[in-house]
Amino acid sequence: MAAALALWAVFCPPATAGFQVCNQTLDLANVAIGQPDGVGFESRGWWKIGPNQCAEVIRKPIAARFLYVFATDIFGKELLSGSVPLCIAPKRFVIEGESDCALRGYVEAPFIEVDTGDNADWTLFLRATP
C-alpha cells in the first residue's frame, strides 16, 4: 500500500488552481483573457488551443470573481463575443488598461464576462455554435 501511494505521489502531479480554457470546437482557437490588475484591467493573449485541447491560461488561484475572455478561430471569426471592450493586438501581447485602444495602437475587442463565483479554479469550455 505504501509503495502504491509513493508511485501516486511521483506520477500524479499535485492539483493546481487556476483558469483553464478547453476548446470543444473543430477549429484551432485563439484565446485572449482580461482581468482586473488593481488599477484597471490587463488583457493578454494569445493562447492557441487545438480542437479537444485545453490550456491553463492562469496558473495560480484566481484572484478575481470576474474574468474576461475573447476567442476567434484561425480565420478571425469570433468564437466568443461579449460586451466588455478590452484591448488586443495581432501578436502575443500584455496590455495594461482598457481605454483608448486605437490611440495606443491596439484593437478593441468585445470580451465576455465569466463569473467564476469566487472559485480558485475554473474551466471555460468553448463550444461550436450551430
What's the pLDDT tens digit per position in 103-123?
Answer: 999 999 999 999 999 899 999
Rounded Cα–Cα distance for residues 94 and 78 (Å): 20
Q: What pLDDT score does 42 carry?
A: 93
- Is 17-127 a CATH 1.20.58 domain? no
Q: What average pLDDT is seen over the chain? A: 86
pTM of the shown model: 0.83
Give just the sign of the alpha carbon dihedral 25, 46, 22, 126: negative
Three-class SS state of 20: strand
DSSP helix/strand/coil, 30: strand
For 36-79, the pLDDT digits (tens) are 887 888 999 999 999 999 999 999 999 889 999 999 998 989 99
pLDDT band at 130 (very low <50, low <70, confident <90, very high): low
Question: Is residue 87's pLDDT more than 90?
Answer: yes
Buried b (16+ CB within 10 A) or exposed e, 66-84: ebbbbbbbeeeeebbebeb
Grid coordinates belonging to 37: 490588475
Domain ranges in the chain? 17-127
Answer yes or no: are the C-beta atoms of 105 and 87 closer than 8 Å: no
53-58 sheet: strands from edge to edge:
53-58, 19-24, 122-127
Asked whether residue 3 carries a pLDDT value surpassing 80, the answer given is no
